Amino acid sequence: MKLNKVSKIIISVSFIGWIIAGIFLFNSVSANASNSSQTNIYKKIQLFNEVLFKLRENYVDELEIEELINDAIEGMLKEVDPHTVYFTPDEFEKFSIDTKGEFGGLGISIDKRGDYITVVSPIEGTPAYRMGILAGDKIIKVDGESIVGIDTDKSIKKMRGDPGTKVVITILRPGVKGELDFEIIRDIIKIKSIPYAFKMDNGIGYIRIRRFNANTTKELREKLDELETEGIRGLLIDLRSNPGGLLNEAINTVNEFVGKGKRVVFTKGRTKQANFEYYTKFNRIRSGYPVITLINGGSASASEIFAGSLQDWDKGLVVGTTSFGKGSVQRLFPLADGNGIKVTTAKYYIHSGRCIHKDINDQLLKDERVRNGDISKEEIDEMREEAEKENLKNIFHTEKGRVVYGGGGINPDLEIEQSRLSDFEVDLRRKNIFFNYSVDYMIDYENEIKKDFTTSDDFVQDFLEYAKKDSLEYEQADIDSSYSWIQNQLTCNIIGRKFGDLEQYKVAIQEDTQLQETLEIFDKCAFLEDMFIYVEEINKEKKELAENKE
């Protein structure tokens, strides 16, 4: 009898289930014949197999067994923490690409604008860049198949492929009539962990670490060497909204600042294998300038280990807002047929003894009221605030005896808030008006743009007229309060179209209030020890002011 695909799936699942049951039963008998818990698991696996067969044989409609099994797995994982995740083959491949830091592709940053997949920027040195793909190009076909209206992930999947293979993309280009075909040979595209690193006009080195992938340590060493050769009087490492990544990369980057043989992190879990200590191993250490690490509520996992470790070893000042608090350890297990599972096996503790995991995040992620929108933002904020108060009761000390707090996330040495965009500014961003305007403007005036380009009042007025055509409504008060921000956004978008992402970023951060306030610390304190004293005095004043208000 020839088995169809569904029958094979049922038999495979059943067979695997019986093997697992046998293992549980064997362990149970070997360890303790009266172990009712293990026996109960065996019975439940039998029950699962029985339900699966009965559904297949008797349900009124034909069932998609693969979907049923996937749903059963998903349902099981809902009972554990939100970081234990089951991956389909596509999801597992994408996750692996993110951590490896490279893939076979074209080399373009894209976003969906309306129905069109639009090139935000080509990545320098990649096949797309060499072929002349430009920001603003709308990709309408891949290998002759329309991608208009489909989502970004599906578009990416169509454009990626093995290095050396050919793909034809068809674009619509602003200012050019008709469709343009580009035949591109895919190549290895390395995902930059550090997209921006440069010496500022004030002599401070700036490094933005986007995530910790397989290239991070190598990139950081190269950038630090370049900055030190240029001569810097301080270093600002920007880890805001860095979601983390590879643990080894976090440890090796910390190594650059603390030296060899220093404990960075240790893990505690239920099994013996989950308990481990991690030390730096390279005879490398940077010195000669103070270091500040900038974090926010989006800084998580490996970025928290980095910031907290520099704080623990008194090698860097941490400023910004309290980090996310993702301090659980996940291990990746490949499964049959390309599937995979990411399982939480332990929690991270940094050298001072602080556990950086914030349990309130897991509670909120699993809370049905939050998922269904049945709880207000105010109630959620109140739950977070209560958890933060409890965390601040957990006092730890750095190597030099400075007080730090544990129990959830990395608390900065000095809190600096980021200014928020107004509703009007959010609207301008949401409708992509700056991007669209700069693309259209460059069609006629690209040759006139120099690196010192700035926007005049007439330029701003022309932009606002352009925005009106996009149904943007505003009052004069909106313009007055956002005028310098609008000028900055226009300037950086135009500069970016002509000179690339780095030059655009240098302009954009001029309106980054959190970053600019952080830079002021370097002007007030020439040495790290002075910074520690300075922030202690600031925090003391804040505390006294708060107590007086009460």
Catalytic positions:
301, 312, 326
Q: What is the DSSP pairing of strand 414-415 with strand 317-320?
A: parallel
Residue 134 in contact with residue 172, Cβ under 8 Å? no
Helix (H, G, I), strand (E, B) or coil at 258: helix
Q: Which two tokens stand for residue 514?
A: 């959190």
Distance of CA 118 to the CA centre of its chain: 22
* Helix locations, 321-432, DSSP H: 359-366, 368-372, 377-391, 423-430
Q: How far apart are CA 67 and CA 79, in angstroms?
A: 19
Pairing status of strand 138-142 against strand 116-122: antiparallel
CB 352 within 8 Å of CB 398: yes
144 phi, psi to nearest 5 deg: 80, -5
Nearest to 317 by CA among 170, 75, 522, 35: 522
Q: Which residues contact 442 (CB under 8 A, 6 or more apart)?
A: 136, 449, 494, 497, 498
Q: Which two tokens stand for residue 443?
A: 């069609």
Which residues, 6 or more positions from 62, have their beta carbon under 8 angstroms from its beta carbon? none
User: Hey, what amino acid is at 70?
Assistant: N
- How many residues in the chain? 550
Are 286 and 224 spatial neighbours (Cβ–Cβ below 8 Å)? yes
- Treating both helix axes as pointing N-terminal to C-terminal, what angle do 476-499 and 423-430 enclose, rounded to 10 degrees? 40
**Token digits of residue 160:** 């990626």
The SS3 of residue 326 is coil
d(CA 508, CA 502): 10
Count the neighbouring beta carbons within 10 Å of the beta carbon of residue 327. Answer: 30
* Residue 242 φ then ψ, to 5°: -85, 115
CB 406 within 8 A of CB 322: no
The CA-CA-CA angle for residues 243, 246, 251, to 5°, reads 105
- Give dist(CA 63, CA 538) in Å, integer: 65
